[in-house]
Amino acid sequence: MEITYYIMITALLFVAELLYFKVADKCNIIDKPNQRSSHTQITLRGGGIIFYFGALAYFLSSGFAYPLFMIGLTAITAISFVDDVRSVSSRVRLLIQTAAMLLMFYQWTSFMLPWWWMIIALIVCTGIINAYNFMDGINGITGGYSLVILAVLAYVNSQVVTFVSQTFIGSMICAVVVFCFFNFRKRAKCFAGDVGSVSIAFVILFLLGLLIIQTEDFSWIILLSVYGVDSVLTIIHRIMLKENIGQPHRKHLYQLMANELKVPHIWVASLYMLVQLVIMVGFLMIPTAWHYGYLVAIVLLLSAAYVAFMRKYFHLHIQQISK
């Protein structure tokens, strides 16, 4: 029964993505290359809207499970899609993101926590969502990295501790696979856009929050360790360079690999996937008592690798932008 469901969902999502391509092409929802881009071809934007459809398919087929989360996801997806079509004020985006996250917290029953925990959670979740968005810069990285996280969550949900409906995770995996079919390639048919990177980040945050609440173990944040270290250290690096961190750039480690070192996008995305997967295999193999120590060790190791890479290759970026 489950296999039939997943085949049907995948087929429907595939059709939905193709229909979106027609709409995007007709409405000129495209991504034009500029000096900060890592691509050279005009490409359809917003293909990541399929992530929302994956969540919607589960919501409708499950009898409207997780309604508050779904309302929040709808709001954050809608504002992100509008931002893909025409620029939206950062204040408006932040307001909608905050409202969506409060709905997600309520779905978690997080309002039972002290108010100051809510503020911390809002800051952390806002940072994660926007970091996930910033990391969407080359073919395959958003879809591939998300696929690894969802696969690990599916394994944990079935083999370690049940924290959510397995069908929900399965539906999201189907959506990511459909997106990867069009994006995880040398010349992508579409990009995720803000609507894709923000919506999948919101879904992953929801699942990760449920897991952390169920296990009372915050170290599961290690699921985002590769993205997290790249994002945080890149922000610190740009602050050291006295740059406006709100402006687009090409200083992420993955961008230097793809642009300055000319490593194919798919290889770079695969490397990020592989590193995160290896980290999670180790995490799942060790005793629970070692989780926090392992998390600290991984963050330090990834940070050391980031610094070493930048020391060796960042001068290539300086040379490139000075031409």
Q: Which residues contact 203 (CB under 8 A, 6 or more apart)?
A: 51, 55, 73, 172
| Residue 43 pLDDT > 70 | yes
Smallest CA-to-CA distance from 29 within 150, 175, 192 is with 192
pLDDT tens for each residue of 150-202: 999 999 999 999 999 999 999 999 999 999 999 999 999 999 999 999 999 99
Least confident of 89-93, 165-169, 262-266, 305-309: 89-93
Report the alpha-carbon angle 299-141-21, nearest 5.
150
| Residue 29 pLDDT > 70 | yes
Q: How far apart are CA 142 and CA 129, in angstroms?
A: 12
Q: How far apart are CA 166 and CA 154, in angstroms?
A: 7
pLDDT tens for each residue of 70-91: 999 999 999 999 999 988 898 9
CA dist list (Å): 55 to 69, 75, 83, 112: 10, 13, 21, 26
Do residues 111 and 147 touch, judged by C-beta distance below 8 A? no
Look over the chain and give the mean of its residue pLDDT values, rounded to a whole number. 92
What does the pLDDT read at residue 111?
Answer: 66
E strand map for the chain: 30-31, 43-44
Least confident of 9-18, 110-119, 125-134, 172-181: 110-119
| Residue 34 pLDDT > 80 | no
Which one has a higher pLDDT value, 253 or 28? 253
What does the pLDDT read at residue 109?
Answer: 85
DSSP 90-148: HHHHHHHHHHHHHHHHHHHTGGGS-HHHHHHHHHHHHHHHHHHHHT--STTHHHHHHHH
CA dist list (Å): 185 to 24, 33, 84, 139, 222: 20, 17, 22, 7, 27
Confidence of residue 36 (pLDDT cuts 50, 70, 90): low
The pLDDT of 194-220, averaged and rounded, is 96
Confidence of residue 117 (pLDDT cuts 50, 70, 90): confident
Task: Supply φ then ψ for residue 171, to 5 degrees.
Answer: -65, -40
- Type of residue at 241: L
What does the pLDDT read at residue 233?
Answer: 96
The pLDDT of 55-82, averaged and rounded, is 97
Report how many domains make up the chain: 1
Residue 100's domain spans which residues?
A: 2-321
What does the pLDDT read at residue 2?
Answer: 83
Sign of the torsion angle spanned by Cα atoms 320, 258, 194, 277: negative
With a pLDDT cut of 70, the percent of the chain lying above it is 95
Confidence of residue 24 (pLDDT cuts 50, 70, 90): very high
Give the residue carrying structure tokens 């995996």: 173
| Residue 40 pLDDT > 70 | no
